[in-house]
Structure 1
Amino acid sequence: MPSFTLTSRLVKDGGELALPQFSGIFGVPGGEDTSPDLAWSGAPAATESYAVTMYDPDAPTGSGFWHWAVVNLPSDVTALREGAGSSDDSLPPGAFHLANDGGARRFVGAAPPAGHGRHRYFLVVHALAVRDPGVSPDATPAFLGFTMAAHIVGRAVLTATAEIPA
């Protein structure tokens, strides 16, 4: 899979998430559920749209935990501002959030169980060869992954970590 560049002022690849990117919704003291700023460049020429996801494969669920999914970002959009995950109104026209695994159509921050160890959070911008991967607003992030798999022409990834001591 071709890769391209993804950067953030708030998330460094391999680094710890900052407290605003933790989840106050899930009870982390000081967590703000604020999505980080993201900027990307170098996507393949065939890109027609983007999807953005954040996934924790280390969550103790048997299937990980989807924290964020944004669909239908136009190909001329190459950045999301900090806090864009708060509502669909914070996104470019036509783009929308899918419900995360907590059931909210927004970004929900990290909330690894205390003492569970270090969790990895994969922030991914998926470059798609279609303008619309054909998912409805009530689809799940897992269904988005299934639906867009045949249309991905490139991927940009930042991996961050988070841990809450026991």
Structure 2
Amino acid sequence: MRTFTARIEGAQLSAEQLISQLRRDPNSLSPRHIAGFHTPDGEPARNMGPGGEYVVEIPGPWNGPVRVDAVDDTSITLITLDGHMEAGHIRFAATDDRSGRVDVFQIRSWARAGDPLFEHLHLAAGIGREAQTAMWVHTCDRAIHESGGRRSGPIDVDTEILEGSDPSHDS
């Protein structure tokens, strides 16, 4: 499980408005030089809602098909589909401060490697983990920018590896 947490000061948007922006145009927050969201037909992703399927295009051989699993006012959860480099889900969420402005944007990924090669690159060699970190830190910075606020401290990156977990069970 990996969690990327950005704390925001002086935002002009609420958490609901920021997540609405993400749903309306996920490419507005994604690092275009690393990844982009598209429909299976190749059109830019727009208006992401429950059940919608998209492809996260990433340099290299691992474009990642995903489906929108859940949506509420302040979060959106995607699950990976067959052919994705990871098997699991990812949640984008935001919270408001007392004034009703977004103060935290968070990305939380629960996943295991989707194939042995990616497991080696991600866990053993660390290459996939570094690329993933760069992508999600950039996404957090884009969320801060879109909110109209500024970063409050560093983006926290926490990783938890469940030793001995059985990769044949998706949970």
Q: TM-score, normalised by structure 2?
A: 0.30
More strand by share: 2
Structure of greater Rg: 2
Greater helix proportion:
2
Task: Give the TM-score taking structure 1 as reference length.
Answer: 0.30
